[in-house]
Copies of this chain bind each other. A is one copy, B any other.
Amino acid sequence: MDELGLVRRIRSLAKGSGSDVVLGIGDDAAIFRPRPGEDLVFTTDLLVEDVHFRRDTHPPDAVGHKALARGLSDVAAMGAEPRFCLLSLALAPCCDRKWVYAFYRGLLRLARKTGTPLIGGDLAHAEKITCDIVVCGAVPKGKALRRDGAQPGDLLYVTGKLGGSALGLSLGEGPGCKRHLRPQARLEAGRVIRERIKASAGMDLSDGLSIDLHRLCEASGVAAEIDQPLPIFPGATLDQALHGGEDYELLFTASPKSAVPSKIGSLPVTRIGRIVKGKAGSVKLYGEPLLPLGYDHFRRT
A residues apposed to B, CB below 8 Å: 1-4, 6, 22-23, 26-34, 36, 38-46, 48, 50-52, 74-75, 77-78, 80, 84, 86-88, 90-91, 93, 119-128, 130, 132, 134-137, 141-142, 144, 146-148, 203-204, 215, 219, 292, 296-299, 301
User: Taking A3-B298, A40-B31, A147-B27 as contacts, is the C-beta distance between A46 and B80 under 8 angstroms?
Assistant: no
**Roughly how many angstroms separate A168 CA and B126 CA in the complex, as a whole number?**
23
B88 in contact with A46 (CB, 8 Å): yes
A48 in contact with B122 (CB, 8 Å): no
Q: Which residues of B contact A132 (CB under 8 A)?
A: 44, 46, 88, 122, 132
User: Taking A125-B301, A126-B130 as contacts, is the C-beta distance between A30 and B43 under 8 angstroms?
Assistant: yes
**Roughly how many angstroms separate A48 CA and B125 CA in the complex, as a whole number?**
8
- Chain copies in complex: 2
Q: Which residues of B contact A135 (CB under 8 A)?
A: 29
**Roughly how many angstroms separate A216 CA and B299 CA in the complex, as a whole number?**
46
Selected contact of A48 from candidates B51, B86, B124, B292, CB within 8 Å: B124
B32 in contact with A39 (CB, 8 Å): yes
A44 in contact with B122 (CB, 8 Å): yes
Chain A to chain B: the 3 pairs with minimum beta-carbon distance, closest first: A132-B132, A29-B43, A34-B34
B298 in contact with A86 (CB, 8 Å): no
Given contacts A29-B41, A29-B43, A42-B119, 6 further A-B contacts (CB under 8 A): A26-B147, A29-B74, A30-B42, A33-B39, A51-B126, A52-B124
**Roughly how many angstroms separate A232 CA and B208 CA in the complex, as a whole number?**
55
Q: Which residues of B contact A119 (CB under 8 A)?
A: 42
Q: How far is the CB of A146 from chain B (nearest CB, A)?
A: 5
Q: Which residues of B contact A50 (CB under 8 A)?
A: 127
